[in-house]
């Protein structure tokens, strides 16, 4: 008979790939943000072309050219580079970048009910869609230069969404509280620096308004609509101008050409691009003291942190301040990089602040002031300082008392009343006089009391003495002449021993 053998096949390992819940919703949010932002840019360019289509200089321009210009502008928003007849241009309209960031944040609100990891799919959706639109609708854009910008914008939006989602337990990130506080403080510090830069920019525009108007007149603009469009085109670079102003306040300055560094200590005279806003460049040096404005802003913010966002322990507070400094430095580096421009390869190849020096000086000025104010006014620091003051005061008192006793031990006791060592001998003399005075007063009082009481005692003793003498005479008469009857009992007062003792007491009192 043949035997049957059964061979069991080993199961092959199977890798299961499971996408997180809500990944499609987050990816769709990124696609929607890219489409809406791109459409906004195209509409702006088309409206501008429609307003100036009657200009004789634009007779050769068509609607398709305007659409391609919109694609080029979208590429600039993503940080791309244009190649126009061999000239490389990289100019980022930072205000439109902020609008795109707000669109991304708004579309990610619908993904709050899903796990945190699903929101990262919005980065993929936005990057693919935005790069595809930039490559398909532009004529002069090098589309591969937009990859970095198309990734940075959604990453910032996702981090913002995750840190602000504190209601849903699936979305909330588990990080220490002091890290969260440090991140929030860093963002607020960046907004505070931007506010100081905005005020400096307003002052510069007000001081150089005449020069700005003269540059604006070079465009030969006659209608109000054209003026409004020109102003709106410059407003697209308002965040860039604020970053330049903050860099100027730090002392690092900014470049308007490779050979023209404008700073508080340097005002070169060189050609500038025909942009009305550049007429606000300072014409005179002011000195490096302008960094005081940033330091003052840091002190004010430090007082706010101490009153509203103070950590319970000094270690947690130090960690929060360190996180704040790192966050501010990263945001400053990103802002400086976004505000830096390149036009050609000659003199205009460098426009904007130094990417590394300006952020470092900003962090040193603001975060240094914030750290000093917060740590000095922290309850732990105040308590430690109070304890040290009390200990030093006690040690000083002990040392003073020890020195006084040592000096007093070296003084002759006979001359102690006449020598004054830190007031100790004077006190001793006063105490001696006071005690002697009290003793004399007591002796006078006792003497007067004895004087008043002595006559009374003398009269009483004299009467008692006469009574005892009369009693003694009677007893002597009875002894010398005894009667027939004798008294069997005698009183205790008739005892001669008692008489002798009484006379002895009277004599003692008289003496």
* pLDDT per position as a tens digit, 131-142: 999 999 988 899
Q: What long-range pairs does 310-315 form, CB within 8 A, spacing at least 24? A: 310/374, 310/378, 310/379, 311/178, 311/181, 313/380, 314/375, 314/378, 314/380, 314/381
For the chain, helix (H) and strand (E) counts, in that order, are 15, 7
Rounded to an integer, what is the distance from CA 420 to the centroid of its chain?
Answer: 54
Confidence of residue 65 (pLDDT cuts 50, 70, 90): confident
- Compare 453 and 383 and report the one with higher pLDDT: 383
**In this predicted model, which residue has the larger pLDDT, 398 or 445?**
398
Question: What is the average per-residue pLDDT within 232-260?
Answer: 92
Return the closest-CA partner of residue 54 out of 235, 234, 225, 274: 225
Q: Which two tokens mark 301?
A: 């913010």
Report the alpha-carbon distance of residue 268 to residue 283 in Å, rounded: 8
Average pLDDT of the chain? 79
Nearest to 201 by CA among 315, 278, 311: 278
Better-scored residue on pLDDT, 424 or 196: 196
Average pLDDT over residues 324-351: 90
Report pLDDT for 414.
Answer: 45
pLDDT computed for residue 258 by the predictor: 86
**What's residue 273's pLDDT?**
83
pLDDT at 425: 46
pLDDT greater than 80 at residue 6: no
Question: Where are the alpha helices (H) located in 143-223, listed in sequence order?
Answer: 147-164, 177-207, 209-217
Q: pTM of whole model > 0.85? A: no
Given a cut of 70, whether residue 498 has pLDDT beyond it is: no
The answer to whether the CB of 324 falls within 8 A of the CB of 367 is yes
Of residues 247 and 438, more confidently modeled: 247
Range in 122-126, 195-199, 212-216, 469-473 with the lowest mean pLDDT: 469-473
For the residues 359-375, what does the mean pLDDT come to?
A: 93
pLDDT at 29: 92
């Amino acid at each position: 008979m043949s035997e049957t053998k059964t061979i069991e096949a080993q199961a092959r390992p199977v890798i299961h790939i499971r996408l997180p819940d809500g990944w499609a919703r987050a990816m769709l949010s990124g696609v929607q943000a890219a489409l809406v932002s791109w459409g906004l840019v195209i509409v702006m360019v088309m409206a501008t072309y429609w307003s100036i289509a009657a200009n004789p200089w634009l007779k050769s321009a068509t609607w398709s050219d305007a659409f391609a210009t919109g694609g080029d502008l979208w590429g600039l928003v993503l940080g791309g580079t244009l190649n126009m007849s061999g000239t490389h241009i990289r100019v980022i309209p930072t205000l439109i970048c902020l609008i795109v960031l707000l669109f991304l944040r708004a579309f990610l609100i619908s993904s709050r009910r899903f796990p945190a990891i699903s929101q990262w799919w919005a980065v993929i959706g936005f990057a693919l869609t935005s790069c595809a639109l930039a490559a398909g609708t532009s004529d002069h854009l090098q589309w591969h230069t937009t990859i970095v910008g198309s990734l940075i914008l959604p990453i910032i939006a996702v981090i913002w969404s995750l840190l602000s989602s504190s209601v849903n337990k699936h979305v909330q990130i588990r990080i220490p509280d002091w890290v969260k506080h440090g991140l929030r403080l860093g963002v607020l510090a960046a907004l505070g620096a931007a506010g100081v830069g905005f005020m400096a920019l307003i002052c510069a525009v007000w001081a150089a308004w005449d020069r700005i108007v003269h540059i604006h007149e070079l465009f030969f603009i006659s209608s109000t609509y054209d003026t409004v469009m020109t102003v709106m085109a410059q407003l697209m670079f308002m965040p860039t101008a604020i970053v330049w102003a903050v860099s100027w306040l730090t002392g690092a300055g900014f470049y308007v050409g490779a050979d023209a560094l404008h700073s508080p200590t340097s005002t070169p005279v060189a050609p500038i691009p025909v942009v009305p806003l550049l007429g606000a460049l300072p014409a005179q040096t002011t000195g490096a003291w302008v960094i005081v404005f940033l330091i003052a802003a840091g002190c004010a913010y430090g007082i706010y942190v101490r009153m509203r966002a103070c950590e319970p322990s000094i270690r947690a507070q130090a960690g929060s301040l360190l996180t704040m400094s790192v966050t501010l430095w990263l945001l400053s580096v990103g802002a400086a990089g976004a505000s830096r421009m390149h036009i050609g390869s000659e003199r205009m190849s460098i426009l904007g602040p130094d990417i590394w020096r300006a952020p470092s000086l900003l962090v040193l000025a603001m975060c240094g002031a914030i750290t000093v104010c917060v740590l000095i006014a922290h309850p732990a620091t105040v308590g430690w300082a109070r304890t040290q003051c009390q200990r030093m005061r006690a040690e000083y008192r002990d040392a003073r008392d020890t020195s006084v006793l040592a000096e007093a031990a070296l003084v002759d006791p006979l001359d102690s009343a006449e020598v004054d060592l830190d007031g100790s001998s004077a006190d001793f003399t006063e105490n001696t006089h006071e005690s002697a005075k009290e003793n004399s007063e007591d002796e006078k009082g006792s003497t007067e009391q004895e004087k008043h009481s002595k006559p009374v005692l003398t009269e009483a003793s004299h009467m008692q003495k006469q009574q005892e003498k009369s009693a003694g005479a009677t007893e002597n008469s009875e002894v010398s002449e005894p009667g027939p009857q004798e008294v069997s009992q005698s009183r205790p007062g008739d005892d001669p021993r008692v008489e002798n003792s009484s006379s002895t007491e009277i004599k003692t009192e008289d003496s």
